[in-house]
């Protein structure tokens, strides 16, 4: 694109995707682009991609729709960035990315874009979706039950997906009772590891316990990532209340002690329960 046309597109607020793609092209221009952007590759950008996805989830959790708009833009930029790196390497470009996801959505929704009936329960549609995905994996020579589950997923999410795959072939406990028993067993092994084993062995036992906790979440139909995010938010909320009360007396947490802060924690907890009862 001639430089004048490029400048005009970049300056056009209504330029849409073409504008964003041109901005990225200019940032990656080896002669006139940004040195930092030119230096990046798939591996160096990947952590930012994961971070931006989490920030999208955070905005949704907070129901901050103005922030969500910006975070979705940040996440879209990551796709554009990866696609431009691929284009510069002669691998594929953004149009190839868009074409691939369009083709995938059409193939996975024959009840919308094909001749299949839409008169199915959500459970039947989910089963159909999984059957189509299984056929896709087979086409990629991914024949193992656990093949195709991304290594880069958050660990709890990946544990859940691994367990769901194993469940499909009958490798699963029949009820939560067996899972709870396994949690007790793993907790005992962790206690033993803490007292007598190496740090690496302690870490292994801790991982086993987390894996079984993810299994319990699956049996209880709980999203472990969402549950932990909620627990993090609750901890943050209550600890900030501790800071507020201490500040009223001219103190900081560092100037307090565990007994005082524990009492303020219980106060914050009681205040939350009272607010819930009134609402």
Average pLDDT per block of 10 residues along the chain, 279 residues long: 88 96 96 96 94 91 94 97 97 97 91 83 80 74 80 88 91 93 93 84 92 95 89 94 95 95 95 88
What's residue 176's pLDDT?
93
8 A C-beta contact, residue 195 and residue 205: no
Tell me the C-alpha distance between 20 and 28, whole Å.
12
Write down the pLDDT at residue 130: 76
258-262 long-range Cβ contacts below 8 angstroms, 24+ apart: none
Residues 264/249, Cβ–Cβ less than 8 Å: no
Q: What is the pLDDT of residue 141?
A: 66
In the numeric block, which tokens belong to residue 60? 């949704």
Q: What per-residue confidence (pLDDT) applies to 123?
A: 80
Q: pTM value?
A: 0.64
Whole-number Å distance between alpha carbons of 40 and 82: 10
Position 85 scores a pLDDT of 98
Res 10: pLDDT: 94
| Angstrom distance (rounded) from CA 206 to CA 26 | 47
pLDDT tens-digit map of 28-71: 999 999 999 999 999 999 999 989 998 998 899 889 999 999 99
8 A C-beta contact, residue 52 and residue 71: yes
């Amino acid at each position: 694109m001639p430089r004048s046309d490029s400048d005009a597109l970049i300056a056009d607020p209504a330029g849409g995707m073409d504008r964003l793609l041109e901005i990225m092209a200019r940032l990656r221009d080896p002669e006139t682009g940004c040195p930092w952007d030119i230096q990046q590759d798939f591996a160096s950008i990947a952590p930012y991609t994961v971070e931006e996805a989490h920030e999208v989830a955070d905005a949704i959790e907070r129901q901050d729709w103005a922030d969500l708009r910006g975070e979705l833009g940040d996440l879209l930029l990551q796709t554009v960035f990866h696609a431009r790196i691929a284009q510069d390497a002669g691998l594929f470009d953004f149009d190839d990315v868009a074409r691939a996801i369009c083709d995938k959505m059409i193939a996975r929704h024959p009840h919308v874009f094909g001749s299949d009936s839409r008169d199915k329960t959500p459970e039947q549609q989910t089963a159909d979706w999984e059957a189509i995905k299984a056929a896709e994996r087979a086409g990629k020579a991914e024949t193992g039950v656990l093949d195709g589950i991304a290594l880069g997923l958050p660990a709890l999410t990946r544990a859940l997906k691994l367990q769901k795959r194993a469940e499909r072939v009958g490798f699963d406990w029949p009820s939560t009772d067996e899972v709870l028993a396994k949690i007790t067993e793993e907790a005992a092994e962790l206690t033993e590891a803490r007292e007598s084993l190496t740090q690496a062995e302690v870490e292994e036992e801790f991982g086993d316990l987390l894996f079984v906790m993810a299994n319990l979440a699956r049996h209880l139909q709980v999203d472990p990532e969402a549950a932990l995010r909620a627990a993090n938010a609750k901890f943050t909320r209550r600890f900030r209340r501790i800071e507020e009360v201490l500040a009223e007396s001219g103190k900081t947490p560092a100037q307090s002690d565990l007994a005082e802060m524990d009492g303020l924690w219980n106060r914050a907890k009681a205040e939350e329960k009272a607010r819930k009862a009134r609402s």
